[in-house]
Structure 1
Amino acid sequence: MPTPDLDLSQLSRDHVLRALHQMDQEGPRMPLSTVYDLVYQGRRYAPRAVAQLAWRLALNQPEAPWPLPAGTPTNRVLEKLDFTVATKRPTLENSPLLDGDVAAQEHMQELYTGATQKPAPRKGRPASRNEATAEPEPGALATPEPTEALPADVQEPALAYQLPAPQPYNQATALAELFISADKLTTTQAALRRRRNLILQGPPGTGKTFLARRLAWLELGATDAARVEVVQFHPSFSYEDFVQGFRPDGAGSFRLQDGILVNFCHRAAQDPERPHILLIDELNRGNVARIFGELLLLLEADKRGPAHAIRLPYAPVGSPPFFVPENLYLIGTMNLADRSLAPLDYALRRRFAFVGLEPEFGEPLQAFLAAQQVPAPVITRLVAHLTALNQVIADDPDLGPDFCIGHSYFCQPPATPSAAPEWLQLILEQEIAPLLDDYWLDQPAKAAQQKKKLLASSAG
Structure 2
Amino acid sequence: MDDRIKILELLSNKKNVLLMGAPGTGKSRVMNEVAEAFINGGTRLAQPSHVPGTGIPIPAVAAPTGLDLAMLKKANRKVFRTTLHQNSKYRDFLTGIVPELGAGGGYRINEGILYRANEFAKQDNSAALLIIDELNRGPAIEVFGGSIVAIESDKRLNDDNTAAPATQYFEISNPADGQMVEYAFSPNLYILAAMNQADASVAPLDVAFMRRWQSYQLKPNY
> TM-score scaled by structure 2?
0.71
| Aligned residue identity for 2:137 | R
The structure whose residues are more often strand, as a share, is: 2
| Aligned residue identity for 1:240 | R
Q: Give the Å deviation of 1:222.
A: 5.7
Q: Which runs of 5+ in 1 are unaligned?
A: 1-181, 362-460
Distance 1:255 1:317, change over 3 A: closer
Matched, 1:322 2:183: yes
Q: Give the Å deviation of 1:360.
A: 1.5
Determine the structure 1 residue equivalent to 2:169.
310
Determine the structure 2 residue equivalent to 1:333.
194
Determine the structure 2 residue equivalent to 1:369.
none
The CA RMSD measured in Å over matched residues stands at 2.5
Q: Distance in 1 between matches of 2:168 and 2:152?
A: 12
Structure scoring higher RCO (CA < 8 A, sep ≥ 6) equals 2
| Aligned residue identity for 2:173 | Y
Determine the structure 2 residue equivalent to 1:276.
128
Q: Distance in 1 between matches of 2:123 and 2:76?
A: 16
Q: Distance in 2 between matches of 1:191 and 1:267?
A: 21
Superposed, 1:33-48 pairs within 5 Å as none
Residue 139 of structure 2 contacts residue 202 of structure 2 at CA under 8 Å; is this kept in 1?
A: no
1:350-384 residue CA offsets vs partner (Å, 9 max, x unmatched): 110111112212xxxxxxxxxxxxxxxxxxxxxxx
Q: Distance in 2 between matches of 1:339 and 1:233?
A: 13
Superposed, 1:24-423 pairs within 5 Å as 182=1, 184-220=3-39, 221=41, 227-251=78-102, 252-271=105-124, 273-305=125-157, 306-307=162-163, 308=167, 310-315=169-174, 320-361=181-222
Identical positions, percent: 34
Q: Which runs of 5+ in 2 are unaligned?
A: 44-74
Residue 90 of structure 2 contacts residue 145 of structure 2 at CA under 8 Å; is this kept in 1?
A: yes
Larger Rg computed on CA atoms = 1
Q: Distance in 2 between matches of 1:257 and 1:341?
A: 24
SS in structure 1 at match of 2:183? coil
Residue 84 of structure 2 contacts residue 134 of structure 2 at CA under 8 Å; is this kept in 1?
A: yes
Residue 219 of structure 1 contacts residue 275 of structure 1 at CA under 8 Å; is this kept in 2?
A: no
Q: Distance in 2 between matches of 1:184 and 1:263?
A: 27
Q: Give the Å deviation of 1:266.
A: 1.0
Distance 1:335 1:255, change over 3 A: same
> TM-score scaled by structure 1?
0.36
Aligned length: 179
1:192-241 residue CA offsets vs partner (Å, 9 max, x unmatched): 22211001111122211111122233344169996000011001000011
Determine the structure 2 residue equivalent to 1:79.
none
Determine the structure 2 residue equivalent to 1:135.
none
Distance 1:231 1:184, change over 3 A: closer
Residue 131 of structure 2 contacts residue 193 of structure 2 at CA under 8 Å; is this kept in 1?
A: yes
| Aligned residue identity for 2:13 | R
Superposed, 1:448-459 pairs within 5 Å as none
Distance 1:204 1:276, change over 3 A: same
| Aligned residue identity for 1:310 | Y
Residue 213 of structure 1 contacts residue 279 of structure 1 at CA under 8 Å; is this kept in 2?
A: no
Residue 109 of structure 2 contacts residue 178 of structure 2 at CA under 8 Å; is this kept in 1?
A: no
Distance 1:227 1:186, change over 3 A: closer
Distance 1:309 1:354, change over 3 A: closer
| Aligned residue identity for 2:219 | E
Q: Distance in 1 between matches of 2:210 and 2:129?
A: 19
Q: Distance in 2 between matches of 1:207 and 1:233?
A: 18
Residue 201 of structure 1 contacts residue 335 of structure 1 at CA under 8 Å; is this kept in 2?
A: yes
